[in-house]
A and B are shown apart, each in its own frame.
Chain A
């Protein structure tokens, strides 16, 4: 049934640190690599070496530029800030993608809150992708079924893997350690503490989906202590040495 289960005590999810994400897309690639050969149908590509390549991805990274409203010393030309923004399924508590599903293919696990698609029952109507506010679902063009992040369910409970690998592929691979995996239903877990310490937030709470995944905000550019900005033009002037240096200093003394 695509009715939502009672909220589980355990809420597995991700915490993504927008302050440390460098936008390398390693999580995107690692996710595709693991999931194309893991749970369910492969993540197909259409026209991969052609003019308009496209394909199914469960995780995508957007890059935003933020122009500060109030800049350092109220200067209007303060430098802009770049924020890399990974976007994948947030495993919402009130997942709207689950309740709209007419076939019962979409469901939320009662034991850990992971949202999954039973690909054998999916008829590819695409309504769940319309219902998701976060663009987390993509209809695979080869298989004709809906694909989404499984939180690497075939890794996290997989006792055939070494223990350090029993986390989602994106988390395992992130070179900046910007991605964290854990139980957000447990206030004592490392991810919950991270959210509490760093003022973690959820996306678009006004859509009432109650996402489990959290984001950690990037520091404001104006909060970062750095050297005072200086005019770049001074760097362009070569420092005179030798006879010209002596002449330069002599002239400066006369000045």
Chain B
């Protein structure tokens, strides 16, 4: 599958934004006004930035509003509706927090649930496709959700630590360390499954297997088409192993190491810097992971080519 930057940015950024909303809604993070302003702006900004990025993937963005109509049957439509609902509750929750200096618990839990569901529906857009066997597994929503929670958690740690002038609190490990390791393990299992998936062959795809070994003699067109560029993308597959290492090194190992260094750092300034870079590394890692998610995925139509 062609790894379009607009879609990769969409699921990475909105994943982190909705992940942060999940943590905030559960009552994590400092209650102070400054912290509230910063966390809410970053959560809303990341989620909205991701959603706006996804619009650039459309050939007719002027008709994007129509995507809210088919929630009964379409996961993409459900994703749009859930994102809108999450934003509505997020807006009310944020305003209440900022104006009353109180965090409404019930509304917060609702916001967490909606943000969680939005990430799930995003993942289901890919999971539902029987045509891409790499994606068609319950592990895919688990990967999306765990990376969303880990990136949201690390964003919250970065906000808290920087606002506290470099004071890294022990309890922040709950939303940093554990989700990070969990996400790494889930993705490793996902890759393990992907390595053992059964693909169609030209024989099974044409239904001519009983006649012998089927292989393509002549393509339908001499030059690449939209279809082959979109579905038969094969550029990165040779480099997949190297990219997976980058993804794990940046996405999981680097944030862990930087986090531990920050914990033992001699100066508060250095702690704040290290925590910030562990967030940057984690996001780069998820970008690489999402890029591979598309580039490695083999669409069944590729067996005809």
| Most chain B C-beta atoms within 10 Å of own C-beta, residue among A66, A67, A122, A134 | A66
Interface size class of A (residues with CB under 8 A): 35 or more
CB-nearest residue of chain A to B213: A67
| Partner-B contacts on A (CB < 8 A) | 1-4, 18, 28, 52-57, 60-69, 80-83, 85, 87, 96, 98-105, 121-127, 129-135, 138-139, 141, 144-145, 201-204, 207-208, 215, 217-218, 220-221
Do B227 and A129 have beta carbons less than 8 Å apart?
Answer: yes
**Chain B contacts to A: CB under 8 angstroms:** 1, 57-64, 66-67, 69-70, 72-77, 80, 125, 128-132, 200, 202, 204-208, 210-227, 230-231, 299-301, 304-305
Q: Write out the residue numbers on chain B whose beta carbons fall within 8 Å of the beta carbon of A204.
A: 200, 204-205, 207, 300
Are B207 and A201 interface neighbours, CB within 8 A?
Answer: yes
Chain A proximity of B218: nearest CB distance (Å) = 4
Are B211 and A135 closer than 8 Å at their CB atoms?
A: no
Majority secondary structure, A binding face: loop
> Of all chain A residues, which has the CB nearest B215?
A65
Q: How far is the CA of A61 from the CA of B220 in the complex (A)?
A: 5
- Within 8 Å by CB of A1, from B70, B75, B216, lies B70
Evaluate contact between A130 and B226: CB separation under 8 angstroms: no
Tell me the complex Cα distance, A18–B58, Å.
37
**Could you tell me if B72 and A135 are in contact, using CB atoms closer than 8 angstroms?**
no
Interface-central residue, B62, B80, B207, B222, by most chain A CB under 10 Å:
B207
Known contacts A102-B67, A145-B59; decide if A66 and B129 are in contact (CB<8 Å): no
Are A62 and B220 in contact (CB-based, < 8 A)? yes
Contact of B300 among A1, A66, A138, A207 (CB under 8 A): A207
A2 to B77, CA, bound (A): 11
Q: Are A68 and B211 in contact (CB under 8 A)?
A: yes
Chief secondary structure at chain B's binding surface:
mixed
Interface centre among B67, B210, B227 (most CB of A within 10 A): B227
Known: A62-B219, A65-B215, A123-B64. A131 touches B59 (CB 8 A): no
Q: Can you list 12 A-B contacts with CB-CB less than 8 angstroms, sorted by A residue number?
A: A4-B73, A52-B224, A67-B213, A81-B211, A101-B74, A103-B63, A103-B66, A125-B57, A126-B230, A130-B230, A135-B231, A218-B211
User: Across the interface, which residues of B come within 8 angstroms of A55, CB to CB?
Assistant: 225
Whether B70 and A138, one on each chain, are in contact in the complex, defined by CB atoms closer than 8 angstroms, is no
Inter-chain contacts of A57 with B (CB < 8 A)? 220-221, 225
Of B72, B132, B210, B214, the contact of A64 (CB 8 Å cutoff): B214
Enumerate chain B residues within 8 angstroms of A220, measured Cβ to Cβ. Answer: 210-211
Q: Are B130 and A96 in contact (CB under 8 A)?
A: yes
Is there contact, CB below 8 Å, between B59 and A124? yes
Which chain B residues border A138 with CB–CB below 8 Å?
225-227
A63 to B208, CA, bound (A): 12
Output the residue of B131, B218, B304 with the most chain A CB within 10 A.
B131
**8 more CB-based (< 8 A) A-B contacts, given A66-B214, A129-B231:** A2-B70, A62-B220, A96-B130, A99-B74, A102-B77, A123-B63, A124-B60, A139-B226
Task: Kindly list chain A residues whose C-beta atoms are within 8 Å of the C-beta of B223.
Answer: 52-54
| B128/A100 in contact, CB under 8 A | yes
B212 contacts A69, CB within 8 Å?
A: yes
Roughly how many angstroms separate A221 CA and B125 CA in the complex, as a whole number?
44
Contact A129 B204 (CB under 8 A): no
Q: Is the CB of B304 within 8 A of A87?
A: yes
B51 to chain A, nearest CB (A): 13
| CB <8 Å contact, A100 and B216 | no
